Amino acid sequence: MSSYFAEIPPVRFEGPESKNPLAFRWYDKDRVVLGRRMEDHLRFAVCYWHNFVWPGNDPFGGATFERPWFQGGDPLAMAKHKAREAFDFFSRLGVPYYCFHDRDVAPEGATPRESLALFQAMTDELAAQQARTGVKLLWGTANLFSHRRFMSGAASNPDPEIFAMAATQVKAAMDATLALGGENYVLWGGREGYETLLNTDVGREMDQLGRFLNMVVDYKHRIGFKGTILIEPKPREPSRHQYDFDVATVYGFLMRYGLESEVKVNIEANHATLSGHSFEHEIAMAQALGIFGSIDMNRGDPLLGWDTDQFPNNIADTAIAMYHILQGGGFTTGGLNFDAKVRRQSIDAADLFHAHIGGMDVSARALLIAERMIQDGAMKAELDTRYAGWGSELGMGILGGTLKLEDLSARVLTQNRDVAPVSGRQEFLENLANRYC
C-alpha cells in the first residue's frame, strides 16, 4: 500500500544529542518517570481534524495543502483513503491514541439516514485500522458547528428540530465511541453561544444546554459507556460568547444542572489564554473544583485574538502545566491531545511530523522537569510553609465553622495590634522553578 508518508521512517527516540529532525530527543516512551512509563503518563493523542481534514484555508485564503485524499471522487472511498493515511501517520509517529469528530471520518450524506450509514461504515473502517495498528481512541465527539443548520447553535438553537438533529449525531457518535473502545466522550459547543443579545434569551438557551447534557449523561449510563464525559471550555470563536466560557463557568453550569459528579473538563491551552487565564490556572482550577479530565496541549499566540492552535514549544510554560497535572495525580481516563495544526505555509508531509515531534518532545521534557520539581520538593515545601498558619487553632476554628465574624472581631480588638505581612517571594520561586529547566 503506497502511503503519503512513505518516505518518513518510523520516529524513534535518539536522545538529546541527536540532530535528526525526524527523531525524538526527549520522548522515550518506556522511560519510567515517577513510577510510570512516559507513554502512560503522557497518553499522547493526535487529532484527526487539523491533520487530515483541514485544507490549510483561513478567513482570507483558500486551501494550501495538497493531500491525495482531498482530490475528490467518491466521498466514502476518499474517507477510507484518508483513514488509512491517518493511521499510517499515527503509527509512524508512535502515538498511542487519536481523537475524531464524526464528520472528520465520514462524509455527510443527503439525508440523516445516509449520514448515519456512512458514519457506521467508517466506524467499521476505524475499528479495522485500530486493530491493524494498535492505535486506540482517546475520545470521540460530534461536529455540531460546521454545518449551516447549526449556525445558531445545536442544543441551544432557537429551533427544537435542530436540537433533535444534534441529539441524533451525538447518539451515533457515542455509540461509535463505545464500539471503538474510546476512553472519553467530548462536547465542545462552538456554536452554543450567541452573536448578539438582541436575538438571544440566554436563560432559555442555558436550560436547553443543561437538558441536552443530562440526556447525554443518561444515555451514557444506559449504554454502559464507562468513559468520562468531558466539556471543553472556550470563551468565544466562532461565537461571540460561548456558554462554556472557562473552567469556573462550566463548574457553575454543572452545579446548576446537577451534573458536577458526572462531567469533567477537557482543558485547552489556547482556550485558556483566550479566556484571560493561563493554562496552568485552568488546570489548577479544575483540580480544585474536582472536574479535571483531559487536556488539549496546543498553545495560542498571546498577541493574537483568535485560536491559533499551535504546537507547544515553550519548555518552561509546558513544564509548569505538567507540574500542576502531576500534582493533581496525573491523568486517569484523560490524555494529552494535540488539538494543534501546522501553519498553513507548512505544506509538506514532513511538516506534520516536525510539528508533532516537537510537541511530544517539549511535553516529554516538561514531564522530566516536573519530575525533578516533585522529587526535589522545594516548591511544595515553600507552599506548605506559606499556609502553615491555617493548621493553627485559629485557622482550624475559622475553617471548621466554630468561630463567627464577631468572635474574630473580638479577638482582634483584644489583641489590639497589627499583623505584619510576609514576603510573597515570587522572584525567588521563579528562579527556583527555572532551576529545574
Choices 33-41, 67-75, 134-142, 429-437; region in contact with a copy of itself by CB under 8 A: 429-437
Is residue 102 flagged as an active site residue?
no
**CB of 33 or CB of 342, closer to a copy of itself:** 342
Site string for a copy of itself, 20-49 (x = CB under 8 A): -x---x------------------------
Choices 75-83, 91-99, 127-135, 348-356; region in contact with a copy of itself by CB under 8 A: 348-356
Min dist CB 31 to a copy of itself, Å, is 19
Question: How many whole angstroms from its chain centre is CA 262?
Answer: 18
Q: Is 271 annotated as a binding residue?
A: yes
Choices 7-15, 81-89, 159-167, 224-232; region in contact with a copy of itself by CB under 8 A: 159-167
Beta strand 193-194 pairing with 136-141: unpaired
Q: Which residues pair with 267 in a beta bridge?
A: 295
Please choose, from the candidates 52, 77, 45, the residue with its C-alpha nearest in 3D space to the C-alpha of residue 67. Answer: 52
Please give the residues from 69 up to 88 whose contact with a copy of itself meets the rule CB under 8 A: none
Is residue 277 flagged as an active site residue?
no
How big is the CA angle at 430 (ends 288 and 360), to the nearest 5 degrees? 70
Q: How far is CA 193 from CA 51, 71, 74, in A?
A: 27, 35, 35
Q: Is 268 annotated as a binding residue?
A: yes
Answer yes or no: are the C-beta atoms of 69 and 82 closer than 8 Å.
yes
Site membership for a copy of itself, residue 261 (CB under 8 A): no
Site membership for a copy of itself, residue 417 (CB under 8 A): yes
The set of residues, in sequence order, having a beta carbon less than 8 Å from that of 3 and lying 6+ positions away, is 84, 85, 88
Site membership for a copy of itself, residue 56 (CB under 8 A): yes
How big is the CA angle at 232 (ends 52 and 354), to the nearest 5 degrees? 35
416 burial type by CB count under 10 A (0-12 exposed, 13-18 middle, 19+ buried): exposed
Pick from 133, 249, 332, 333 the residue near a copy of itself by CB under 8 A.
249
Please give the residues from 350 up to 389 whose contact with a copy of itself meets the rule CB under 8 A: 350-351, 354-355, 357-358, 361-362, 379, 382-383, 386-387, 389
Choices 31-39, 106-114, 132-140, 177-185; region in contact with a copy of itself by CB under 8 A: 106-114
Q: At what angle do helices 349-376 and 378-386 cross, to 10 degrees?
A: 60
Site membership for a copy of itself, residue 120 (CB under 8 A): no
Measured between alpha carbons, how far is 55 from 66 in angstroms, rounded to an integer? 8
Min dist CB 248 to a copy of itself, Å, is 4
Q: Is 262 annotated as a binding residue?
A: no
Residue written as grid cell 491531545 = 337
Instruction: Exactly one of 81, 101, 281, 356 is catalytic; name it.
Output: 101
Q: Is 102 annotated as a binding residue?
A: no
Min dist CB 149 to a copy of itself, Å, is 5
Instruction: Exactly one of 28, 88, 102, 104 is catalytic; name it.
Output: 104
Answer yes or no: are the C-beta atoms of 362 and 368 closer than 8 Å.
no
Answer yes or no: are the C-beta atoms of 339 and 269 closer than 8 Å.
no
Pick from 1, 60, 72, 131 the residue near a copy of itself by CB under 8 A.
60
Min dist CB 201 to a copy of itself, Å, is 6
Q: Is 28 annotated as a binding residue?
A: no
196 burial type by CB count under 10 A (0-12 exposed, 13-18 middle, 19+ buried): exposed
Q: Which residues are catalytic?
A: 101, 104
Annotated binding site for Mg(2+): 232, 268, 271, 296, 307, 309, 339
